[in-house]
Amino acid sequence: MPAKLKAAVLGSTGYTGLELTRLLLRHPRLEQPALLQREKQTDTACNLAEMFPVLSGNGSYPLQPLSWPALRQQGVQLLFLATPHQASRSLVPEAIAQGLRVIDLSGAWRLKREQHRAVYGFEDADSVAAADVTEMAIYGLPELHRDQIPGAALVANPGCYATSVILALAPLLAAGIIDRERGIISDSKSGVSGAGKEPNSRTHFVSVADNLSAYSVFGHRHVGEMLEQLQLNTCELIFTPHLLPIPRGILSTIYVHLNREMKAGEVESCFRDFYAGRRWVRIFATPKLPQIQFSLHTNYCDLGFCLADDGRRLVLVSCVDNLLKGAAGQAVQNMNLMYGWKEEEGLQ
């Protein structure tokens, strides 16, 4: 049996980090991952199982301070970052300099264009080094960049909303059948875990329960990813996110006009041909449409559509679990590609 990979996770105490840790713990090709924290915390438990009893009874999961020498001593080869955007922006150049491969689940390195990164307000201590890292980063959407991921030193894991929208639109845009001049509208809704673990007035129970609210209209951080990956202009896409009163899951309803009259079978074939051999995309035959409950707790992106009687107006529905295909599951899928393993390993 070949030696198992040693990985480390920084940020395992967040929603995404915990989900990622649970996946890595059961992955057949990994040793137990090293669980890191950015600084020693004396006021909280130092064992992940004490903080999250769901892990209890299966061993000890100690949290250790981040130390590059300690990671070398433990034989860590791959570092997952489930950290705030600015923290990842600072840590990734250091990690690469230490010879580690990195999968970053934040938005720190997803965007190539400065105008799209501006929404994050990054302050780089070394702008030249940051530019070099930006250039080497591979956007970790396996369905689009499967050939580039295996050789990557840094994989920038996509955003959850971006994953749902990009996968829905990519086949149609690649085929050149969307009337881009008439615009694309995405109405997307996410469970509360997509907002992260840190509470705020918008995510408190009394604000979310029995409610549905729009937010970050014309200003959401994931829009830049959609524009860059789909090669759209700003004026061609309107994206509006909403907060659902559920823990997890995303449903994106996307409205497009086609530039020629089409049959439903042609549209379906466009999707099936584009995603042939792509393990984690499921195409629903019309008129059946995806629902959040179908993709929940899986790494699938479920895609479906309805075509108007005129053959020119198309409504797409895309569903993902924001913590899995939208984050931790996709990170594991990227790891599998980086090391030449099957994409489904550790995710079934």
Catalytic residue (one of 46, 160, 270, 319): 160
Question: Does a structural domain hold residue 343?
Answer: no
Residue 15 C-alpha from the chain's centroid: 13
Q: Which residue has the higher pLDDT, 56 or 99?
A: 99
Residues 150 and 201 in one domain: no
Question: Does a structural domain hold residue 344?
Answer: no
Residues 136 and 219 in one domain: no
User: What does the radius of gyration of the chain's CA atoms come to, in whole angstroms?
Assistant: 20
Question: Does a structural domain hold residue 202?
Answer: yes
Residues 151 and 274 in one domain: no
* Average pLDDT for 19-29: 97
For residues 59-79, b (16+ Cβ closer than 10 Å) or e, as one string? eebebeebeeeebeeeebebb
Tokens linked to 202:
């918008």
Residues 151 and 164 in one domain: no
* Average pLDDT for 291-319: 98
* Average pLDDT for 52-75: 91
The mean pLDDT of the chain is 94
User: For residue 60, what pLDDT band results from cuts at 50, 70 and 90?
Assistant: confident
pLDDT at position 197 is: 77
DSSP state of 159: P
Read off the CATH number of the domain in which 303 is found: 3.30.360.10
pLDDT at 42 over 60: no
CA gap 131, 124 in Å, rounded: 10
Question: Does a structural domain hold residue 196?
Answer: yes
Question: Does a structural domain hold residue 261?
Answer: yes
pLDDT at position 314 is: 98
Residues 33 and 153 in one domain: yes
pLDDT at position 41 is: 54
Residues 12 and 152 in one domain: yes
Q: Do you know the residue count of the chain?
A: 348
Residues 180 and 305 in one domain: yes
How do residues 200-242 score in pLDDT, each as one tens digit?
877 888 888 999 999 999 999 999 999 999 999 999 999 999 9
Residue 105's domain comprises 7-157+327-338
Continuous H helices in the chain: 15-25, 48-51, 68-74, 85-97, 114-117, 127-136, 142-145, 160-174, 205-208, 223-230, 264-274, 292-295, 328-338
Question: Does a structural domain hold residue 2?
Answer: no
- Find the range with the poorest average confidence among 34-48, 121-135, 172-186, 286-300: 34-48
Residues 153 and 225 in one domain: no
DSSP state of 30: B
Read off the CATH number of the domain in which 151 is found: 3.40.50.720
- Find the range with the poorest average confidence among 12-26, 110-124, 202-216, 240-254: 202-216
Residues 241 and 173 in one domain: yes
* Average pLDDT for 33-43: 77
Residues 177 and 122 in one domain: no
* Average pLDDT for 119-123: 93
Residues 164 and 295 in one domain: yes
Residues 125 and 88 in one domain: yes
- Tell me whether residue 319 is one of the annotated catalytic residues: no
Question: Does a structural domain hold residue 1?
Answer: no
Question: Does a structural domain hold residue 347?
Answer: no
Share of the chain above pLDDT 70, in %: 98
pLDDT at position 15 is: 93
Domain count, the chain: 2
For residues 145-160, b (16+ Cβ closer than 10 Å) or e, as one string? beeebeebbbbbbbbb
Helix 160-174 crosses helix 223-230 at what angle (to 10 degrees)? 20
Q: Which residue has the higher pLDDT, 164 or 209?
A: 164
* Average pLDDT for 306-334: 98
